Amino acid sequence: MTTKWYVGVDLGGTTIKLAFIDPYGEIVYQGEVPTNTSNGGSEITTDIAKWIDGSLEHLGETKSQLHSIGMGAPGFINMETGYIYQAVNIGWKDFHLKDRLEMDTGLPVIVDNDANIAALGEMWRGAGDGAKNLLCVTLGTGVGGGIVANGNILHGVNGMAGEIGHITAVPEGGYQCNCGKTGCLETVSSATGIARIAKEFITDYPNSLLASESENAGRMTAKLVFDCANKQDECAIKVIEKVTYYLGFALANLANALNPEKIVIGGGVSKAGPTLLEPLEKAFQKFALPRVVEGVSIVTATLGNDAGVIGGAWLAKTKN
Amino acid sequence: MTTKWYVGVDLGGTTIKLAFIDPYGEIVYQGEVPTNTSNGGSEITTDIAKWIDGSLEHLGETKSQLHSIGMGAPGFINMETGYIYQAVNIGWKDFHLKDRLEMDTGLPVIVDNDANIAALGEMWRGAGDGAKNLLCVTLGTGVGGGIVANGNILHGVNGMAGEIGHITAVPEGGYQCNCGKTGCLETVSSATGIARIAKEFITDYPNSLLASESENAGRMTAKLVFDCANKQDECAIKVIEKVTYYLGFALANLANALNPEKIVIGGGVSKAGPTLLEPLEKAFQKFALPRVVEGVSIVTATLGNDAGVIGGAWLAKTKN
C-alpha cells in the first residue's frame, strides 16, 4: 500500500514555503518559491501548482500520490470558504483562494491563518508534543498567536480568535499600537517593542554595556538586549524583566481561562532561550492560579520555519 | 412516537435543582430538594434517585421515559470519568459521582462543572441564543465562568478552564484573593468585591447618598451601590465605573483571544441591567480590538436558576 502525501503550503510576504508530508508528519520533500505580489498576487496559486507539478516530476511521482493541500495565509480569512477578505502584504483583496488553488492544482484545499497552522504544526510534531490544549505565541516583528483547544484551532465568530498580540498588557499610558489601541502586548513584547523599551532604559543607564553596544551598532535590537543580558548587564536584565512581566501577565491571564498544557513561544525573540524563559516563568507564576501553573509547561518552538507546512499537512489530514 | 426526556441536575451547596427536559430544551417538570451534606454528602445520589422515581410516579410515567442524566456539580471534577476530587461545600472528597448516580438511578450519567453547565444552558435556550462561541461570567458572591468554543465547553488540561474570576484585573496592589493570588477579578467584580470598593469610596464621599444609605442599612451591599447609582449618586456611579473598568479590561482581553459572539453576564449582580452593562461596554471597547467589538454583544443571562438544569440536559443530549 502506498501512503499518500499531503501538501503543506505556508504563504509569507516574501516566500512561499511548500512541502510534501507523509501521514505521520515527516517531510518527504520541500522547497520554496518567491511570493509574487505583482498584479494583486494573482500569480500565486499558479506558482504553487507549478512547484507541485515540477516537484512530482523531479521525484518520479504522479499527482495520484497527493491527497490534498493544507495552506496557511496571512490576513483576514473566512476559514470555511477559504475566502480572503484582505491580505495587505500579499496584495489580495476579496480573493477566492481555496477555489482558485483547487482549480489550478486539481486537489482539495483547506485554508487557515498562518499563525494558526504554525500552532497546529507545533502541536503535531513540535514543542507541543501532542498536547491538545496549547497556546502558541510568536514573538517576531509583531506578536502573533494561535490557540488550540481539544485539538482544534479556535477561530471565534469572525476569525479573530488567537490575536494574542492585541491583548492589553499596559492598561494605562501604553504605547500606540498599529491596531488603533494602546498598550497591546505587541507594543512591549515583539522584537520591535523590546528595542523600544531598551532605548528608554539606556537613558537611565548611560554607562551600561547595552548603551555602548547599541551605540556601536548604530541601532538598538532585541538581540542586542539578550546578548548583553547574557553578559550580566544590569540595564539589559531590567529591560527583559519588564518585557517578561507584561508577557507573563498576558499569558497567565489567558492560561487562567484556558488551562493549557503547553505554552509554545516561537519567533525570532524565542531564540533567546532561558534568558527569556526564566524571567517569563517567574512573572507567569505571579499571575496564574497554582493549579494552572501545575498543569502547564512553557517551552520554545522547535520546528522553526517548518511549523507552517507541517501544520498545513495536519489540517489537510484531519479536515479534508 | 414518544420523545424521551433528559434529567437535568444542578447541585448547589444548599439545594439540588432537578428537571425533566424534552429534546428541545423545554422543562416538562421540575423541583428541588435540600442538599444533604451530612455523612460527607453520601446521601445525595440517593436523594436524586428518589426525586426521579417520585416525580415519574406523580406524572404517571415509567423510567423508560428517561434517556439519561446530565449533572452539574461544584468543585474539582474529572469530566471524563465523573470523579470528584473535592467539593468542599458538599463534603465530597474522592467521590465517584458518575458511577454512584448511575447505580442509584439505572440511567447513564454525564457530569460537568456547575458554572459550565450554566453556560451550556444559556447557549442553548438563554441569552446565548444558539451562539457557539460564548463567554459566560457569573457575578455573585464570587465570580465564576464558562467558555464555549465551537459549541463545546472548554475544560483545559486539568479541568481549570473557564476560571474567569481568577484572571488578574489589578496587576499591582490588588486585594488578597482566596485563591492565594492578589488582584483577581473576583476581588473587584463580585458582589463582595463591589461592596468592598464602595466602602473605600464612601470615605471620600461622606455626604453621598451611598454613604447615608449604607449607614442606615447597617452594611454595604452591591445592590445598594446600583440603587444609589440609579438615583444619580456620584459616589455610587464612580464605584461602578471602577468595577466595570476592571471587568471590561478582563473580558476584553479574553475576547481578543477568543473572539466570542456573545458575552453573557449572569449572577445576582447582573440584575442591575443597563446600570452595569452601559459602563461595562464603554470599558470593554477601550480594551478590545475593533473587529472583536463588532462581532460580540454583551447581554445579561435570561434563564436565572434554570440555566443549570437546562445545560445539564444539553450535556446529556449531546454527549451521551
Q: What ipTM is given for this predicted complex?
A: 0.89
CA B195 to chain A, closest CA, distance in angstroms equals 24
Taking an 8 Å cut-off on Cβ atoms, the answer to whether B133 and A157 are in contact is yes
Cα(B138)–Cα(B264) distance, integer angstroms:
8
CA A292 to chain B, closest CA, distance in angstroms equals 7
Residue B161 predicted with pLDDT over 70: yes
DSSP string, chain B: -PPPEEEEEEE-SSEEEEEEE-TTS-EEEEEEEE---GGGGTTHHHHHHHHHHHHHHHHT--GGGEEEEEEEESSEEETTTTEEEEETTTTEEEE-HHHHHHHHHSS-EEEEEHHHHHHHHHHHHSTTTT-SSEEEEEESSSEEEEEEETTEE---TTS-TT-GGGSBS-SSSPPB-TTS-BSBHHHHHSHHHHHHHHHHHHHH-TTSHHHHHHHHHTS--HHHHHHHHHTT-HHHHHHHHHHHHHHHHHHHHHHHHH--SEEEEESGGGGGTHHHHHHHHHHHHHHS-HHHHHH-EEEE-SSGGGHHHHHHHHHHHHH-
Q: Which of B113, B259, B262, B297 to mutate to test the interface with A (most CBs of A within 10 A)?
A: B259
Q: How confident is the model over B165-202, as pLDDT tens digits? A: 999 999 999 999 988 899 999 999 999 999 999 999 99
Q: Which of B136, B157, B168, B170 to mutate to test the interface with A (most CBs of A within 10 A)?
A: B157
Taking an 8 Å cut-off on Cβ atoms, the answer to whether A260 and B156 are in contact is yes
pLDDT at residue A79, rounded to an integer: 84
Which of B157, B256, B260 is facing A259, going by the closest CB pair?
B157
CA B296 to chain A, closest CA, distance in angstroms equals 8
pLDDT at residue A78, rounded to an integer: 87
Chain B residues within an 8 Å CB radius of A159: 259
Give the single-character DSSP code of A159. Answer: S
Q: How do the pLDDT tens digits run along chain A, 320 residues long?
A: 568 999 999 999 889 999 999 999 999 999 999 999 999 999 999 999 999 999 999 999 999 999 999 999 988 888 889 999 888 888 899 999 999 999 999 999 999 999 899 999 999 999 998 899 999 999 988 898 999 998 889 999 988 899 899 999 999 999 999 888 999 999 999 999 999 999 999 999 999 999 999 999 999 999 999 999 999 999 999 999 999 999 999 999 999 999 999 999 999 999 999 999 999 999 999 999 999 999 999 999 999 999 999 999 999 999 86
Chain B residues within an 8 Å CB radius of A287: 168, 171, 181
CATH architecture observed for domain B5-114: 2-Layer Sandwich (3.30)
CA B158 to chain A, closest CA, distance in angstroms equals 6
Cα(A272)–Cα(A224) distance, integer angstroms:
10
pLDDT at residue A19, rounded to an integer: 98
Taking an 8 Å cut-off on Cβ atoms, the answer to whether B289 and A166 are in contact is yes
Residues in B lying within 8 Å of A, measured between beta carbons: 131, 133, 145, 147, 149-150, 152, 154-164, 166-168, 171, 179-181, 249-250, 252-254, 256-261, 286-287, 289-292, 294-296
Matching residue, cell 451547596: B13
Cα(B141)–Cα(A27) distance, integer angstroms:
54
Taking an 8 Å cut-off on Cβ atoms, the answer to whether A250 and B249 are in contact is no
CA B156 to chain A, closest CA, distance in angstroms equals 4
Q: How confident is the model over B70-126, as pLDDT tens digits? A: 999 988 888 889 999 888 888 899 999 999 999 999 999 999 999 899 999 999 999
B293 falls in which pLDDT band (50, 70, 90)?
very high
Nearest CA in chain B to A159: B259
Chain A residues within an 8 Å CB radius of B133: 156-157, 161
B320 falls in which pLDDT band (50, 70, 90)?
low
Taking an 8 Å cut-off on Cβ atoms, the answer to whether B252 and A168 are in contact is yes
Taking an 8 Å cut-off on Cβ atoms, the answer to whether B163 and A259 are in contact is yes
Taking an 8 Å cut-off on Cβ atoms, the answer to whether A289 and B163 are in contact is yes
CA B115 to chain A, closest CA, distance in angstroms equals 13
Residue B246's identity, in one-letter code, is: Y
Cα(B112)–Cα(B79) distance, integer angstroms:
5
Chain A residues within an 8 Å CB radius of B253: 167-168, 250, 253-254
Taking an 8 Å cut-off on Cβ atoms, the answer to whether B261 and A157 are in contact is yes
Residues B9-37 have a mean pLDDT of 95
Chain A residues within an 8 Å CB radius of B155: 150, 259
Q: Which residue has the higher pLDDT, B269 or B88?
A: B269
Which of A149, A249, A291 is facing B149, going by the closest CB pair?
A149
Cα(A263)–Cα(B226) distance, integer angstroms:
40
Taking an 8 Å cut-off on Cβ atoms, the answer to whether A289 and B157 are in contact is no
Q: Name the average pLDDT for chain B.
A: 94
Q: Which of A85, A187, A247, A259 to mutate to test the interface with B (most CBs of B within 10 A)?
A: A259
Nearest CA in chain A to B296: A157
pLDDT at residue A1, rounded to an integer: 53
Class of domain A5-113: alpha beta
CATH architecture observed for domain B127-302: 2-Layer Sandwich (3.30)
Taking an 8 Å cut-off on Cβ atoms, the answer to whether A253 and B250 are in contact is yes
Which of B152, B160, B254 is facing A150, going by the closest CB pair?
B152
Domain ranges for chain A, please list them.
5-113, 127-302
pLDDT at residue B282, rounded to an integer: 98
Taking an 8 Å cut-off on Cβ atoms, the answer to whether B156 and A295 are in contact is yes
Is residue A7 within 8 A of residue A27, CB to CB? The reply is no
CA B202 to chain A, closest CA, distance in angstroms equals 25
Residue B25 predicted with pLDDT over 60: yes
Identical fold, B5-114 and B127-302? yes
pLDDT at residue B7, rounded to an integer: 98
Chain A residues within an 8 Å CB radius of B158: 259, 291, 294-295
Chain B residues within an 8 Å CB radius of A157: 131, 133, 259-261, 295-296
Residues B222-231 have a mean pLDDT of 97
Taking an 8 Å cut-off on Cβ atoms, the answer to whether B145 and A250 are in contact is no
